[in-house]
Chain A
Amino acid sequence: MSILTVDNIHKNYGSIQALNGVSFKVPEKSVFGILGPNGSGKTTLLGIILNVLKANSGTYQLFDEAPTKKHRQQIGTLLETPNFYHYLSAVQNLRIAARIKGRDEKDIDRVLEIVDLSKRKHSKFSTYSLGMKQRLAVASCLLGDPSVLMFDEPTNGLDPVGIAETRELIKRLNKEGKTIIMASHLLDEVEKVCTHVAVLLKGTLVTHGHVNEILINEDIVELSGCNTDQLLSILQNFPGSSAVRKNEHYVEMMFPSGEATLDHINQHCFEKGIVLNHLRLRRKSLEAKFFELTKGN
């Protein structure tokens, strides 16, 4: 089953084309990242899926069915900013959300515990800090333990601890078998959390698929020794390496994903008379990949 199927969605605000024929499927139990810079159409896309925006053309399905409010009730959603009644407390706000979703109000204490807001649960929303508001929004998403969650920039406004906690939460939810759809402009966030990714740029879907296929397809080995030029020359024809180049600090060797073996490289250099003082395997940075993906556009 596909949790979400987006088919050729177009949306424009006046003359501005916000989405241009976007199509993809979100498989069940995946963490699906919608990645793109600010203004690429991520929030617009989620807004259409949640019926707060109207597409100019194209269709979408939720749980392989034509979307209705029943489907939205089964999805825990945080879209853009946390939207709550400022004059109501956390509990009063969640009570409204629970009623609309048709969830049991007894669940409110549990979700407030998860996001660590139990102590402030009777304070008015207007007295909350930005991070607390964001955490309350996450709590609202978790009401009734939905099987699908949709997060738009879930770590916005959180401090580093909050960011780490939220990412852990997302991973844990996914381990529990939930499907998570998240939009983010943070490349490392998507890399750390997602199993699948769709890359949006100016309303156009650049690419989509499994994270390992799309974002990480090369290993990079960093080396350095006392004589960089000599090091560069002895590595030129190292078997399996697709390219060798020099940057400011290190010599870099490219390998197809999973094929770099550091001990062979080390041995090779030693036999050629060069002792390495730095040898490290790193995966191609997502940022570099992202620029590469989007450069053509």
Chain B
Amino acid sequence: MMHLLKIEWLKLKNYRTFWILSALYLISIFGINYIVYRIQENIYNAKQAKGMAEMVMGSRPYFFPTVWQMTSYVSSFLLFLPGLLMIISITNEYSYKTHRQNIIDGWSRKDFISVKLVLAVIVALISMLMVFITALFFGYSSGSSFDYEKIYYLGYFFIQTLSYTMVALLFSILFKRGALAIGVFFLYSLVLENLIAKPISHYFNDAGRFFPLESTDTLIPLPVFVNVQRQMSAAPNYTLFLIVAIVYLILYAILAVKKFESDDL
């Protein structure tokens, strides 16, 4: 696999669009958390609201240990970007027909698709690392002392990011054309799934939460207004959602591999 990854590296190393988007994405993880952090500081430091904020919203979300959950939650709004990175790295091959050339030159079809699967994992790992650094930074900036109690939220964030990159990978393999895959991916992840999942949740006892991306979104709830949230709906069974998310991940991988191995390229 190292051999395959080195070749993938040669492909990506000089692919400028990929790196510009990656850099913007990583900066944005920091940036979006900075914005929310500033809002937190404004609310909690306001003189007239002294003590009120804590009462209604709970303790500061960027304090350790909730900072792990808060940073993961806030960063998850950017997850269409790692999806986009996956899509361009795959559909590019289709538009240059290099996916054919790789096979012709002597890769097996499994080589090609498995290195892309590993790329999806790597993108998710790097995202998680960036969230880790960002959480550390704002945890300390808030003036709290280090606590790793809720650090498992980083693990949830990894699973969630992986779900997005894997759905993006699957859409790229299914649709082959960049614009089409991007369009469908954005519409599905930002609009369509919510459009379907929310009414189903409403009428069928939260069943909408089991939709592919929604199931991982559920893993990381907003850590403020916790009391209010509890009154509105029962806390989800995290173990169950983790299992559901992993089952989906396996399904994406199997579908993508089967499709790529049986298609006319």
Interface centre among A47, A52, A70, A99, by most chain B C-beta atoms within 10 angstroms, is A52
Most buried by A among B101, B102, B105: B105
Beta-carbon contact of B16 and A87 below 8 Å: yes
**Chain B residues near A77 (CB-CB < 8 A):** 104-105
20 new A-B contacts, CB < 8 A, other than A79-B101, A81-B97, are A47-B264, A50-B103, A50-B104, A51-B104, A51-B109, A52-B100, A52-B104, A52-B264, A69-B108, A72-B106, A73-B105, A83-B96, A83-B98, A87-B14, A95-B10, A97-B101, A99-B10, A100-B105, A100-B106, A100-B107
> Does B106 contact A70, Cβ atoms closer than 8 Å?
yes
Scan A43-76; emit 1 where CB is below 8 A from any B CB, else 0: 0000100111110000000000000111011000
Contact of A79 with B100 in the complex, beta carbons under 8 Å: yes
Q: When chains A and B are docked, how far (Å) is the Cα of A87 from the Cα of B13? A: 10
- Which residues of chain A have C-beta atoms less than 8 A from B233's C-beta? none
Q: How far is the CA of A83 from the CA of B101 in the complex (A)?
A: 6
A101 contacts B105, CB within 8 Å?
A: yes
Q: What are 19 A-B interface contacts by the 8 Å CB criterion?
A: A50-B103, A51-B109, A52-B100, A52-B103, A53-B265, A54-B264, A68-B108, A69-B107, A69-B108, A72-B103, A84-B96, A84-B101, A85-B92, A86-B96, A87-B14, A96-B7, A99-B7, A100-B7, A102-B106
| Minimum distance in angstroms from A4 CB to a CB of chain B | 15
Cα distance A96–B112 in the bound complex, in angstroms: 13
A54 partner residues in chain B, CB cutoff 8 A: 262-264
| CB < 8 Å A-B pair total | 74
Assembled-state Cα–Cα distance A65/B92 (Å): 34
State whether the Cβ of A92 lies closer than 8 Å to any Cβ in chain B. Answer: yes
Chain B residues 1-51 with CB under 8 Å of chain A are: 3, 6-7, 10-11, 14-16
Residues of B within 8 A of A100 (CB): 7, 102, 105-107
Residues of B within 8 A of A72 (CB): 103-106
**In the complex, how many angstroms separate the beta carbon of A108 from the nearest chain B beta carbon?**
13
Which 10 pairs across A and B sit closest by C-beta, in order of nearness? A73-B106, A83-B101, A83-B97, A100-B105, A52-B265, A69-B108, A72-B106, A52-B100, A53-B264, A50-B104
Please indicate the chain B residues that have their CB under 8 angstroms from the CB of A69 in the complex.
Answer: 106-108, 111
Q: Could you tell me which B residues sit within 8 Å of A by CB distance?
A: 3, 6-7, 10-11, 14-16, 92, 96-98, 100-109, 111, 262-265
Residues of B close to A96: CB separation below 8 A: 7, 10-11
A interface list, Cβ under 8 A from B: 47, 50-54, 68-70, 72-73, 77, 79, 81, 83-88, 92, 95-97, 99-102, 140
CB distance from B11 to the nearest CB of A (A): 6
Shortest Cβ distance from A79 into B: residue: B104
Shortest distance between the CB of B116 and any CB in chain A (Å): 15
Q: Which chain B residue has the least Cβ–Cβ distance from A54?
A: B264
Q: Are B98 and A84 in contact (CB under 8 A)?
A: yes
- Which chain A residues lie closer than 8 Å to B108 at the CB level? 68-69
Chain A neighbourhood of B262, CB < 8 A: 54
Are A85 and B98 closer than 8 Å at their CB atoms? yes
B95 shortest CB reach to chain A, Å? 9
Given A77-B105, A102-B106, verify A83-B14 contact (CB < 8 Å).
no
The CA-CA distance from A51 to B263 in the complex, in Å, is: 10
Contact residues in A for B109 (Cβ distance below 8 Å): 51
Chain B residue contacts of A68, Cβ below 8 A: 108
Q: Find chain B residues with CB under 8 A from A52 CB.
A: 100, 103-104, 264-265
Residues of A within 8 A of B106 (CB): 69-70, 72-73, 100-102
The answer to whether A85 and B7 have CB atoms under 8 Å apart is no
Docked pose: A77 CA to B103 CA in angstroms: 11
**Complex CA distance for A188 and B103, rounded to whole angstroms:** 31
In this complex, what residue of A is CB-closest to B262? A54
Q: Kindly list chain A residues whose C-beta atoms are within 8 Å of the C-beta of B97.
A: 81, 83
CB distance from B166 to the nearest CB of A (A): 24
Closest chain B residue to A143, Cβ basis: B105
Interface contact A99-B6, CB-CB below 8 Å: yes
**Distance of A81 Cα from B104 Cα, bound (Å):** 13
Distance of A51 Cα from B260 Cα, bound (Å): 12
With contact pairs A53-B265, A54-B264, A79-B100 given, residues A87 and B7 touching in the complex (Cβ less than 8 Å) = no
Give bound CA distance, A79 to B97, whole Å: 11
Q: Determine which of B15, B102, B264 lies in contact with A87 in the assembled complex, contact meaning CB atoms within 8 Å.
A: B15
B14 and A92 within 8 A (CB): yes
Separation of A283 and B146 alpha carbons in the complex (Å): 90
Q: Are B10 and A83 touching (Cβ within 8 A)?
A: no
Whole-angstrom distance from the CB of A138 to the nearest CB of chain B?
14
B14 to chain A, nearest CB (A): 6
Chain A residues positioned under 8 Å from B92 (CB to CB): 85
How many Å lie between the Cα of A297 and that of B202 in the bound state? 65
